[in-house]
Structure 1
Amino acid sequence: MRTKPVDRIVAEGGQGEGGELKRTMSLLQLTLFSVGATLGTGIFVVLGEAVPLAGPAVVLAFVLAAVTALFSALSYAELAGTIPVSGSSYSYSYATLGELVAWVCGWCLLLEYAVSVSAVAVGWGAYLSAFFDDAAGFTIPAALSGPPGEGGVVNVPAVVVVVFATLLLLRGTSESATANTIMVFLKVGVLLFFCAVAFTAFDSGNLSSFAPMGWAGISAAGSKVFFSYIGFDAASTAGEEAKNPRRDLPLAIVLSLAIVTAVYVLVGLAAVGAMHWERFELSGTEASLAQVLDEATGRTWPSMILSLGAVIAIASVVLTVMYGQTRILFAMSRDGLVPPVFQRVSPRRRVPVANTIIVAVFIGTLAAVIPLGRLVDATSIGTLFAFALVNVGVIVLRRTRPDLPRGFRAPLYPVTPLAGVAFCLYLMVGLGGVTWTVFALWCLVGLAAYFLYGRRHSRLATEPSGKGAA
């Protein structure tokens, strides 16, 4: 139950073994980092699985997920402006709820970030296949474009995009941020192009049975599409590489969520208006937006443009979420809870090289052999749990350290964090029993790892009695 003092967490910011991280990221880059980590994950990949659950009311499912994310985003914004370090909700939990809870949170973040990158990489492969099919009539062999159990042997395109992101991250944070900025602008442009084309085929009759499965369907779809909001907290993992973290981190988190929600609702409405919701289930492909354009125009060139944009743009999700994964492991390693190799910083490039390579190998393996649907649900439950802890952390820190300087305060306290906890638990309940079983097993493995390694190597544990308490 030992907590790590906030002042010490902040003082250690940027320090790693062999060097320190470099502060290079502006407000624009931080905002686009969060947008890059979020936008595309749900619209390009998960929409086709969510529409059959809710029908045209999938638009309301996006709003439900957005409201859930908003409460947690406000809590993230407060803690990011108070504890501006790389560990995100792991570090916030360490300062407020104790080492064991922080470990479980960090363990869930490993599930959130690593598995979400793997899921997006799988979707990237689907759009790459669609682009090749439209542009050259060439289809990537099923054995090389799908996981075992879905007609494939290994998903090679998913591995390729992970390697691409890894090479960018190893070049440096500034170079990665610049590449992400370009890809985000391209991604938004492609989605606006989709809306422009889809609205030309908009048929109000497609919305006549707006919520065929009622509120239960909307809620189930909300749990599914919450996956598409994972990533708005990416800016919080850049706390030690932001130029003005106390001011910019809260702004970046809230701005990115607003941008992403507006785009999701617009694209979702255009999609279900252009193609009847029952057709989504029949299409049988992750590349659902390309299918919409094919049916709306009867031509291949619009879907070819969309697929090319998705191929480039979804790569930004892989890049930014992999970045967040490495920085959380960096913070956990600095606290002694995972091996020291994860905090070693290259003196020349100022990035954790070994950390990045290890994460890439793990993510690439998952993406190569595991189907998309299982990845999405496993990611959502781990994320919702971590978000709930962040909301609780705001309440605890307001009570225990009201004196701390805060770059942002969640409005309507304590309603905001309490509502955040309630919405997270509500969406967690909407996930299936298999997902809960996987989550429970993941937590048990994490607890075993903590008691076998983390508890004995914790830097706070090696200090004289009393120094580790807040």
Structure 2
Amino acid sequence: MFGRVKPLDAIIATAERKSLHRSLGGFQLMLFGIGCVIGTGIFVLTAAGAQKAGPGLLLAFAIAGAICIVAALCYAEIAAIMPVAGSAYTYTYATMGELLAWTVGWSLILEYAVAASAVSVGWSGYFTGTILKEFLGIQLPVWLSAGPLALGGAPGGLINLPALIIALLVTWLLMLGTRESAWFNAVLVAIKVAALTAFVVLTLPQAELSRFNPFLPAGMFGGFGTGVGAVGAAATIFFAYVGFDAVSTAAEETKNPQRNVPIGLVGSLAFCTLFYMLVSAGAVGAIGGQPIMGPNGVPFPAGSEELARQCALPQYQEYLVCSHEALAHVLRVVGYGTVGNLLGIAAFVALPSVILILLFGQTRIFFVMARDGLLPEGLAKVHPKWKTPYVVTAITGVVVAIAAAFLPVGKLADISNAGTLYAFAMVAIAAMILRRRMPDLPRKFRAPALWLVAPAAIVGCLFLFVNLPFAAMIVLPGWGLIGLLVYYAYARSHSHVGRGVVEVHEPEYSDLEPDIPGIADRGRD
């Protein structure tokens, strides 16, 4: 059952024979990582993190960032060895076999597709609230701006039209080309970094130490399945880092990937971790970040109806935890209302870059799984002009857009985290296996002290997983069970490795797909 390990040389040969166009440099890769990481987490989830951890939000960002950094070092070492699309899925295939690789690829849907839908809904909130209502005086009807179910079980609408439209627009951009997407992303990254830098400059001088006391009102650990406390907040805030691994999915489209992929991974993550801690310190220090406690001394659940009722009371309306646009709210409270509105505009403009990178990662995972035969191979077709996997990009984008339009995805950050944590842990295991099995393999980047870094990543991921809300924890095994049914019903019998095909590109495909200059026709060993 675990014996179908794809040979490392076959993985690299497959990518060389039917590769994606290499157009990205190290700086663009780092911007890709920053573009996805700095987004919904810091703009939307800051209030939810403060409700769980209080001023300990600063510590929550540090905990989540530290776990991501040790995972990124494992990613960087393997990505330098295997500079191909597929990320954690491909790495697992080369070390632990097809079945576990399938489970990783399947779990990554929870990371990328669910998160892309959630970010689309977050963008819709900024568009309808800040742009249409505040600046244009237009009130979009609820039936056009919300799915059938809203947050907290409140009555919803018919369709979230802005979320649907932005997901489809980003999908179209991704189909046009990776280089074009990268430049678009670079512009949006500049806007986000400038906006958050202005926030830090304006709030840190007004920070007071008294607002950090008590630092951990809900404690360090909130208890199993509660999702509160500093660690519970870290499990949610982890969503703010989701996406840096999308850098590794771009390895096949990167120039000199052995050098540039580690730069993109570690560089983007280190930058974002430091930035997040400064922003959270400014937010809490300027207006305070104490949670609203329930009668049992435990914070009301973030996003719950109970918390919404408390936030409607006059004494809580200026609390950080009651804001749907936390950073803009902080600036308004401290007297920078105009800058706060501008920051809201920056979030509205920049969030599409997060959707772009999440969709990018999802489509590249599907592309490689299709190239391996585990999904229908028509999904792996590359457009002759755009040089992108246009079929799988279009299908994924439509599914994400429909989910954003109709499903209650506002609370799905924890669910997205569950799939991500599983993938991160598997990459750390794969790094250790490769070091043991192939110690002499050329490594242009070696993770320092892998004997410590990889186990730390595994334990850290497990640690955050058990501190997710219980409902989010049970989604992963349930989703995995569905994946196993799909694997045994279709993927296992169509797998190229299972059929003894070393080179996965079938000769008959040349009749179905136009020749692409510079890329050899597909063949079979």
Tell me the TM-score normalised to structure 1 length.
0.94
Contact 1:14 1:22 in 2 (8 A): no
Name the CA shift for 1:139/1:306 in 2 (closer, same or farther; >3 Å): farther
Name the CA shift for 1:290/1:15 in 2 (closer, same or farther; >3 Å): farther
Name 1:170's counterpart in structure 2: 175
Q: Percent identity?
A: 40
Q: Determine whether 1:156 maps to 2:161.
A: yes
Q: Tell me how far 1:130 sits from its aligned partner.
A: 3.2
Letter matched to residue 244 of structure 1: N
Secondary structure in structure 2 of the residue aligned to 1:215: coil
Question: Structure 1, residues 335-390: CA drift from partner, whole Å, max 9, x if none?
Answer: 00011122001111101111111000111112122334431011001000000000
Contact 2:55 2:290 in 1 (8 A): no
Q: Tell me how far 1:145 sits from its aligned partner.
A: 2.3
Return the match for 2:326 from 275, 279, 288. Answer: 288
CA RMSD of aligned residues (A): 1.8
State the distance in 2 between where 1:420 and 1:221 align. 18
State the distance in 2 between where 1:433 and 1:144 align. 32
Return the match for 2:265 from 253, 268, 293. Answer: 253
Contact 2:53 2:291 in 1 (8 A): no
State the distance in 2 between where 1:303 and 1:12 align. 50
Name 1:78's counterpart in structure 2: 77
Q: Determine whether 1:342 maps to 2:341.
A: no
Secondary structure in structure 1 of the residue aligned to 2:484: helix
State the distance in 2 between where 1:14 and 1:181 align. 28
Question: Structure 1, residues 97-142: CA drift from partner, whole Å, max 9, x if none?
Answer: 1100000000011111101111111111122233223323333333
Name 1:182's counterpart in structure 2: 187
State the distance in 2 between where 1:353 and 1:417 align. 35
Q: Which has the larger radius of gyration?
A: 2
Q: Tell me how far 1:274 sits from its aligned partner.
A: 2.0
Q: Tell me how far 1:148 sits from its aligned partner.
A: 2.2
Name 1:297's counterpart in structure 2: 335
Name 1:147's counterpart in structure 2: 147
What are the ranges of 5 or more consecutive residues in structure 2 without an aligned counterpart?
222-228, 293-306, 312-316, 505-525
Q: Determine whether 1:224 maps to 2:236.
A: yes
Of stretches 333-342 and 100-109 in structure 1, the one that deviates more from structure 2 is 333-342
Question: Structure 1, residues 153-178: CA drift from partner, whole Å, max 9, x if none?
Answer: 22222112212211211211110111
Q: Tell me how far 1:334 sits from its aligned partner.
A: 0.5
Secondary structure in structure 2 of the residue aligned to 1:415: helix
State the distance in 2 between where 1:248 and 1:363 align. 30
Within-5 A mapping of 1:30-429: 30-132=29-131, 133-150=133-150, 151-153=155-157, 154-199=159-204, 201-216=206-221, 217-278=229-290, 282=311, 284-297=322-335, 299=337, 301-429=338-466
Contact 1:391 1:421 in 2 (8 A): yes
Aligned length: 462
Secondary structure in structure 2 of the residue aligned to 1:198: helix
Letter matched to residue 408 of structure 1: F
State the distance in 2 between where 1:145 and 1:464 align. 49
Name 1:3's counterpart in structure 2: 5
Of stretches 37-46 and 387-396 in structure 1, the one that deviates more from structure 2 is 37-46
Of stretches 172-181 and 367-376 in structure 1, the one that deviates more from structure 2 is 367-376
Of stretches 150-159 and 303-312 in structure 1, the one that deviates more from structure 2 is 150-159
State the distance in 2 between where 1:169 and 1:385 align. 27
Letter matched to residue 138 of structure 2: F
What are the ranges of 5 or more consecutive residues in structure 1 without an aligned counterpart?
none
Contact 2:52 2:291 in 1 (8 A): no
Q: Tell me how far 1:147 sits from its aligned partner.
A: 2.7
Name 1:453's counterpart in structure 2: 490
Structure richer in helix, relative to its length: 1
